[in-house]
């Protein structure tokens, strides 16, 4: 479990650095942080996930007041975390569904900007999906390796 937390911490750090750097390059933020949190959601226990989520929200909230977007992100993340255990699908399908729903809901908060700059949404979606899938695949490999070394219960 510690390896997963280290991987999530590394990916969140990379996501924050990329968000700052690419904001200057593209002039919009790419949501690597959300992609990283969604991948982490599928592999971490609730306490660890909540810690990473709150830490990420604290870093993203560059103002003293909590914004509507931060509340929506927090509520969506906790709701999706709870609902994931009822999903009949494999983790990769869950990741793709949660990722897509998260992006659609988050971008629907500012649908005028979405309609005005749809190409930004597509670029953000594709780059964040690739980033999230990379973290997901590493966490999945760790998860499967851990399952192999566990003794089988009779």
Say if residues 5 and 140 touch (Cβ distance below 8 Å): no
Task: Give the pLDDT score at 26.
Answer: 65
Burial class (CB in 10 A: 0-12, 13-18, 19+), 14: middle
Compute CA 8 distance to the chain's CA centroid, rounded to the nearest angstrom.
Answer: 10
Q: pLDDT tier at 131 (50, 70, 90 boundaries)?
A: very high
Alpha carbons 11 and 20: distance in angstroms, whole number: 14
The DSSP 8-state label assigned to residue 148 in this structure reads H
**CA 133, 92, 61 angle in degrees (round to 5)?**
50
Cβ contacts of 17 within 8 Å, gap of 6 or more:
none
Burial class (CB in 10 A: 0-12, 13-18, 19+), 70: middle
Task: Give the pLDDT score at 121.
Answer: 82
Task: Give the pLDDT score at 28.
Answer: 62
Say if residues 36 and 44 touch (Cβ distance below 8 Å): no
Cβ contacts of 84 within 8 Å, gap of 6 or more:
41, 42, 94, 98
Q: What is the pLDDT of residues 40-97, one digit of tens each?
A: 999 999 999 999 998 888 887 766 777 777 888 888 899 999 988 888 889 999 999 9
**CA 53, 65, 18 angle in degrees (round to 5)?**
45
């Amino acid at each position: 479990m510690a390896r997963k937390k280290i991987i999530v911490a590394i990916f969140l750090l990379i996501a924050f650095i990329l968000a700052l750097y690419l904001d200057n390059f593209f002039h919009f933020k790419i949501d690597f942080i959300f992609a990283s949190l969604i991948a982490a959601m599928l592999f971490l226990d609730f306490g660890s996930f909540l810690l990473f989520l709150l830490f990420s929200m604290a870093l993203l909230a560059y103002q003293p007041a909590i914004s509507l977007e931060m509340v929506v992100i927090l509520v969506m993340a906790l709701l999706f975390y709870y609902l994931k255990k009822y999903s009949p699908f494999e983790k990769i399908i869950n990741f793709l569904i949660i990722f897509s729903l998260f992006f659609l809901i988050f971008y629907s908060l500012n649908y005028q900007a979405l309609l005005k700059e749809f190409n930004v949404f597509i670029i953000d979606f594709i780059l964040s999906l690739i980033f999230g899938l990379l973290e997901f695949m590493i966490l999945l490999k760790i998860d499967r390796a851990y399952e192999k070394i566990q003794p089988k219960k009779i």
